[in-house]
Amino acid sequence: MLKRTSIFVLFLFAFVFSLPQTTLAGSPVTDHKIIIDAGHGGDDSGSTACLNLPEKIVNLDISNDLKELLIANGAVNVYMTRTGDETLSNADRYNYANSTDGEVLVSVHLNGSTNTSTDGTQGLYGKMGKDKAFTQVMHNALWEGLKSTPDFTDFGVTNFASGLLLKTTMPATIQETVFISSTQECQQLTDGTGIRQQQIAQSLYNGLIDWFSQPPPPRKGKH
């Protein structure tokens, strides 16, 4: 016959093992729905400051790396505005985004400057109420993840009246992750290892972790 304490322990084990697996092993992105927008594409190369590697290709590589991280950590849906070298208008992007049940949208870009020693990260938001808090969280994660890069500048977050940001119904941000026009970034992005792209994707992923960890996540509805 079992003692009372043994029965209690048995019940405890039964309870713990009956919990959904996501509760035990879940990441903050588990069960969330995220839209990734790889900037430019097709006829629109974005910055061509890095020889043989247009911005549009790096944007897609980082977006794919980010998608893999999210899926591996249980995100229930990851929506991509493009998965190939397609030409998309802003309207194509926001109409698609608004047709999904995505909770946030991250638009992945690289910045450009005529000064090849300029490097750093900047976040762009459209609507103050809808986008700014999300943009700040994502920007902070990029800065934390990439600030050890030599001569890397924190360009902060700033307002940018992009149709993509203004017309999407969910919190949305454009992240100008690094400067592709920077000599050091161009070298790393073209070294064939994909390590720099992975670092940038990891930093964006960390931002989404931070966003979905906030108690409670500030969802702003349809405004």
Q: Which of residues 173-192 bind Zn ion (CB under 5 A)?
A: none
Q: Does 109 bind Zn ion (CB under 5 A)?
A: yes
Provide, rounded to whole angstroms, the least separation between the CB of residue 46 and Zn ion: 4
Which residue lies nearer to Zn ion by CB, 29 or 138?
Answer: 138
Which residue in the set 46, 54, 145, 171 belongs to the binding site for Zn ion (CB under 5 A)? 46
The residue range among 29-37, 38-46, 133-141, 159-167 that interacts with Zn ion, by the rule CB under 5 A, is 38-46
Q: Does 67 bind Zn ion (CB under 5 A)?
A: no
The residue range among 24-32, 107-115, 178-186, 205-213 that interacts with Zn ion, by the rule CB under 5 A, is 107-115
Spatial separation of the C-alpha atoms in residues 2 and 141, rounded to whole Å: 52
Provide, rounded to whole angstroms, the least separation between the CB of residue 39 and Zn ion: 4
Provide, rounded to whole angstroms, the least separation between the CB of residue 218 and Zn ion: 27
**Sheet of 152-159, strands arranged across:** 77-80, 33-38, 104-111, 172-179, 119-125, 152-159
Provide, rounded to whole angstroms, the least separation between the CB of residue 107 and Zn ion: 9
H-run or E-run covering 209: helix 195-213
The answer to whether 201 touches 78, Cβ cutoff 8 Å, is no
Which residue lies nearer to Zn ion by CB, 124 or 133?
Answer: 124
**C-beta neighbour count of 44 within 10 angstroms:** 14
Which residue lies nearer to Zn ion by CB, 149 or 175?
Answer: 175
Which residue in the set 39, 41, 54, 123 belongs to the binding site for Zn ion (CB under 5 A)? 39
Number of residues near Zn ion (by CB under 5 A): 3
The token duo for 61 is: 């590589």
**Phi and psi torsions of 129, nearest 5°:** -70, -40
The token duo for 46 is: 């974005």
- The long-range contacts involving 3-6, CB below 8 angstroms and separated by at least 24 positions, are none
**C-beta neighbour count of 35 within 10 angstroms:** 25
Which residue lies nearer to Zn ion by CB, 108 or 137?
Answer: 108
Spatial separation of the C-alpha atoms in residues 94 and 26, rounded to whole Å: 30
Binding site residues, Zn ion, CB under 5 A:
39, 46, 109
